Amino acid sequence: MGLRPSSSSSSSSSSRAGLLIIWWCCLIQYSNMALGSKTRHFKWEVEYMYWSPDCVEHVVMGINGQFPGPTIRARAGDTVHVELTNKLPTEGVVIHWHGIRQQGTPWADGTASISQCVINPGETFLYRFKVDKAGTYFYHGHYGMQRSAGLYGSLIVDVAEGAKEPFHYDGEFNLLLSDWWHQSAHEQELGLSSKPMRWPGEPQSLLMNGRGQYNCSLAAHFTNSSSTQCKFNGTEQCAPEILRVMPKKTYRLRLASTTALASLNLAIGNHKMVVVEADGNYVQPFVVEDMDIYSGESYSVLLTTDQDPSQNYWVSISVRGRKPQTPQGLTILHYLHHPKTTLIPTRPPPVAPLWNNYTHSKLFTTKILALMGTPRPPTTTHRRIALLNTQNYIDGYTKWAINNLSLVLPSTPYLGALKYSINNAFDGEKPPENFPMDYNVMNPATNQNSSYGSGVYMLDFNTTVDVILQNANALAENTSEIHPWHLHGHDFWVLGYGEGRFSDQKENNFNFRNPPFRNTAVIFPYGWTALRFVADNPGAWAFHCHIEPHLHMGMGVVFAEGVHLVGKVPHEALTCGLTGKMFMGGNGKP
């Protein structure tokens, strides 16, 4: 069987396997030393293309003829320029640089209606931003359902010249994980906005680097299903990317999930992994046999090729947290040592933990702790915002709401409305800081109706803010789902996770010693998650569930701080809505 050549690239120096923790490396990383930083230029065209991500031809949103889009590779301290031309015939577009904090460039965050106007067909927009911290990141569309349409790619930031990672590895692989539907993103969007709602359902395929298999399986002979064995010559768009490795080496696997819906569990047959990075921050290394990756999260794991080199091994991703109707995504770890007649492993793929075994998920999540040298949280806070996540109806439409308000994005970007004090661009009323004391998170809501809202949580500049994310029962009985929440413009500390309704006493168990510093955190069914961040980045920032249909149904809020300190915002970012009108009138020039 011919399969696609691997994308391994030999990188870091030492041939010594294993881990060597040199914590001062983190200090160097966080002190942001950038010797010889560069500007990296990219010229991109976003377009629709015919493509076969899972061996079935559909339409994907690609960049420069590629799906997923090109990988951006830069060094900490570099400036990235992406000149993005919209070649979609009848649709706007924006791109969000997930995990990049956009300090000084809030207009480059790529969130439609929040940081900028959409880029119209035929227009070119220049994203310009600094990548200040080494790590594994990605980018994706942040307008409507464009992530589900396939608009995404990897963004990898290496340590600054002269700096070192706090671990050694001999080579690395990059795996961008996603889910794929045969129904178009437009039809999914219409379904979600219909009355009654038509839920898009579970994905048809899981993809690694944009490659999956729908009507055949790499492991067909191990399953009882009727699927046939895939046959590839290696040039197919859906042929898996084989990870070709040498025995007795250590590889860094960069993993990031840009799924629209699926929470994933990743495993590598016979091999353990050492988790070393989460969302662009180093973590205390710990060993796992399998790991959960929620949409919006990224990780690095170290893999030591210490197993029988005469064998090959499966790399699998499986759906968690929702009853799976999607086959495992598979590729192969291929030891290059011995000549082999087939690439297919002789053993069946790893069996994923049961989809609703949340004990297993929590065990993994709570093992993630910051490596020494990571910034520590302030020990006190100025403000606590409790956000209750509920599924609701508004006039018969199914929505998600936060403290009973379902987010609708206005036509004027918040950044422009706030910068130019345009008061009628969004709801002037302050969104609620809390939810009723007697709300029972274990049952469906007694009043299932909510309202639309577009208000902003205005944060005092440089203050410390705590957010308690509170999960609850959805509309159906005995149903509460996983929601990974992503914050733009900041990393936050995850101070704690808990079951049921949050109460003030739970604060006694907050972790102030080594809380993980991240940009995405999960709330488990019927549980809460406590976060802390410092509002030190002038701009308007989305904070939302990273499940794309959920955001589309209103599951998000907007924070803003220090907007008066935002420097020049390129006019092109704001030439729509009321800021567009203002520019046409020639007043309020920046």
Ligand X SMILES: O=C1O[C@H]([C@@H](O)CO)C(O)=C1O
Shorter beta-carbon distance to ligand X: residue 191 or 247: 191
* Rounded (10°) CA dihedral 473, 295, 44, 40: 130
Q: Is the dihedral of CA 178, 181, 187, 193 positive or negative?
A: negative
Per-position b or e across 172-181, b if 16+ CB within 10 A of its CB? bbbbbbbbbb
| Min separation Cβ 361 and ligand X, Å | 17
What is the token pair recorded at 188? 């999914």
Q: How far is CA 350 from CA 219, 331, 499, in A?
A: 11, 12, 30
Shorter beta-carbon distance to ligand X: residue 313 or 524: 524
| Min separation Cβ 471 and ligand X, Å | 12
Shorter beta-carbon distance to ligand X: residue 409 or 482: 482
Q: Which of 78, 109, 189, 481 binds ligand X (CB under 6 A)?
A: 481
Shorter beta-carbon distance to ligand X: residue 233 or 443: 443
| Min separation Cβ 387 and ligand X, Å | 17
Q: Which parts of 302-341 interact with ligand X (CB under 6 A)?
A: none
x/- string (CB under 6 A) for ligand X, residues 550-589? Answer: x---------------------------------------
Residues in the chain, how many? 590
Per-position b or e across 545-582, b if 16+ CB within 10 A of its CB? bbbbbbbbbbbbbbbbbbbeebeebeeebbbbbbbbeb
Q: Which helix (H) or strand (E) holds 59?
A: strand 58-63
Shorter beta-carbon distance to ligand X: residue 239 or 402: 402
| Min separation Cβ 296 and ligand X, Å | 16
Across 395-489, where does the E strand assignment appear?
Answer: 397-402, 405-407, 451-453, 457-459, 464-470, 483-487
Size of the site for ligand X (CB under 6 A): 4
Q: Which helix (H) or strand (E) holds 81?
A: strand 78-86
Are the C-beta atoms of 114 and 556 separated by less than 8 Å?
A: no
H helices of 428-576, where?
548-552
| Min separation Cβ 304 and ligand X, Å | 38
Neighbours of 243 (CB within 10 A): 25
355-362, long-range: CB within 8 Å, 24+ apart, which pairs? Answer: 355/319, 355/320, 355/321, 355/322, 355/323, 355/324, 356/321, 356/323, 358/321, 358/524, 358/525, 361/292, 361/320, 361/321, 361/524, 362/497, 362/524
Shorter beta-carbon distance to ligand X: residue 201 or 285: 201
x/- string (CB under 6 A) for ligand X, residues 507-546? Answer: ----------------------------------------
Are the C-beta atoms of 215 and 193 separated by less than 8 Å?
A: no
Shorter beta-carbon distance to ligand X: residue 390 or 579: 390
Q: How far apart are CA 558 and CA 543, in angstroms?
A: 6
Residues facing 140 on adjacent strands:
96, 152
Chain centroid to CA 168: 26
x/- string (CB under 6 A) for ligand X, residues 441-480? Answer: ---------------------------------x------
Look at residues 392, 415, 433 and name the one whose alpha carbon lies nearest to residue 564.
415
| Min separation Cβ 326 and ligand X, Å | 14
Shorter beta-carbon distance to ligand X: residue 413 or 554: 554
| Min separation Cβ 201 and ligand X, Å | 8
H and E: helices and strands count for the chain:
6, 34
| Min separation Cβ 214 and ligand X, Å | 21
| Min separation Cβ 362 and ligand X, Å | 20
Shorter beta-carbon distance to ligand X: residue 414 or 485: 485
Q: Which parts of 365-404 interact with ligand X (CB under 6 A)?
A: none
Identify residue 182 by its one-letter amino acid code: H
What values do phi and psi take at 291, rounded to 5?
-145, 150
Shorter beta-carbon distance to ligand X: residue 62 or 556: 556
Q: Which parts of 199-258 interact with ligand X (CB under 6 A)?
A: 199
| Min separation Cβ 199 and ligand X, Å | 4
| Min separation Cβ 287 and ligand X, Å | 33
Q: Which single residue brings its beta carbon nearest to ligand X?
A: 199
H helices of 435-527, where?
none
Shorter beta-carbon distance to ligand X: residue 24 or 199: 199
Q: Which parts of 50-89 interact with ligand X (CB under 6 A)?
A: none
Does 194 engage in binding with ligand X (CB under 6 A)?
A: no
| Min separation Cβ 219 and ligand X, Å | 28
Shorter beta-carbon distance to ligand X: residue 245 or 551: 551
Binding site for ligand X (CB under 6 A): 199, 474, 481, 550
